[in-house]
Copies of this chain bind each other. A is one copy, B any other.
Amino acid sequence: MLQVNEQIEKELSHYISVLNAPQIIKDAMDYSLQAGGKRIRPILLLATLQSFGQDVSKGITTACSLEMIHTYSLIHDDLPAMDNDDLRRGKPTNHIVFGDAYAILAGDGLLTYSFQLIAQDPKLSPDQKVRIIEFLAQCSGPEGMVGGQVADMQGENQNLSIDQLEYIHRNKTGKLLSFGVVAGAIIAEASNEQIDIMKTYAENIGLAFQIRDDILDIEGNEEIIGKPIGSDTGNLKSTYPALLTLEGAKERLHSHTSIAKEIIKDLNINTRLLEEIADLIEERDH
């Protein structure tokens, strides 16, 4: 597995430090960027680059942009008007530390800055920048993450079908994971056929990621996960185990992982790292 968390965190801090902006908004943006997390999205991007035999440094800026978008979405999701969460990964959430107004603006700032960073990246061609920005906006906006969040809110306290549940997850979490993989492939100058294969890989590990989340909410170790288990059941939330039984959810998890690992064999590149990530998502304990 790539050991890039430290580098990503250093770069994220650097990008905030060079901003010509009031200190308080830089502090608010930096606070949530440095609040930890698995960094799965930047890792996917850089792992894709490495799998295509490319220097991973080419993708660092785009990886940071991606993490900024993910982080903005967490800040806005945690707001009292949304999920009203006081803690994330054991730390006070952004609005608890900085207040609701600055938390909204920190999210807006991260979202906007992420597009600026890609547009300014000297390592990418104008064509690559435009393709990456277009796809990032699609994956994170109304046709992606924002749309998934809306569908999730609409589905609260309702019995969803498996198709409705999958729509939510494909958009709310899946598309941003896909972005990491596809952006890596675009930066590696992969062919359109290769990018399509990588999209299928990403869609499958994205769904596997979410199913594993639902399973961990039943079987996980609270101390390792860092949040109470059983919260989905308490919230009357539709989950894969609820719709498919726990055994059925595990089968589907394994099936998505297998499809992801199988399809990348057609890429004709060294896919060991991408297979490892798929396995890691299937087996993770937090």
Chain A contact surface mostly = helix
Q: Which of A22, A80, A142, A146 has the most CB of B within 10 A?
A: A142
Q: Does A76 contact B (CB under 8 A)?
A: yes
- A143 contact set on B, CB distance < 8 A: 19-21
Say whether A154 contacts B115, CB under 8 Å. no
How far is the CB of A265 from the nearest CB of chain B, in Å? 31
Considering the complex, which residues of chain A in the window 101-132 have a beta carbon less than 8 Å from any beta carbon of chain B? Answer: 101-105, 107-109, 111-113, 115-116, 119-120, 126-127, 129-130
Copies in the complex: 2
- Hey, which chain B residues are within 8 Å of A126, CB to CB? 126-127, 129-130
Instruction: Give A105 to B81 CA distance when docked, in angstroms.
Output: 11
- Which residue of B22, B82, B134 is within 8 Å of A104 (Cβ)? B82
- B22 and A154 within 8 A (CB): yes
Cβ-defined contact, A104 with B79, below 8 A:
yes
Could you tell me if A146 and B82 are in contact, using CB atoms closer than 8 angstroms? no
Nearest residue (CB) in B for A112 is B141
Evaluate contact between A141 and B113: CB separation under 8 angstroms.
yes
| Chain B residues whose CB sits within 8 angstroms of the CB of A138 once the complex forms | 116
A30 to chain B, nearest CB (A): 11
User: Is the Cβ of B111 less than 8 Å from the Cβ of A82?
Assistant: no
With contact pairs A79-B104, A101-B81 given, residues A26 and B142 touching in the complex (Cβ less than 8 Å)? yes
- Nearest CB in chain B: distance from A156 CB, A: 11
Residue among A103, A104, A116, A126 with most chain B CB within 10 A:
A116
Which chain B residue shows the least CB distance to A151? B22
Q: Which of A100, A146, A151 gathers the greatest number of chain B CB atoms within 10 Å?
A: A146
Please name the residue on chain B nearest to A83 by beta carbon.
B101
With A24-B150, A126-B127 already in contact, 13 other A-B pairs whose C-beta atoms are closer than 8 Å = A19-B143, A22-B147, A25-B142, A76-B105, A76-B108, A82-B101, A105-B149, A105-B150, A108-B108, A108-B111, A109-B147, A113-B142, A115-B115
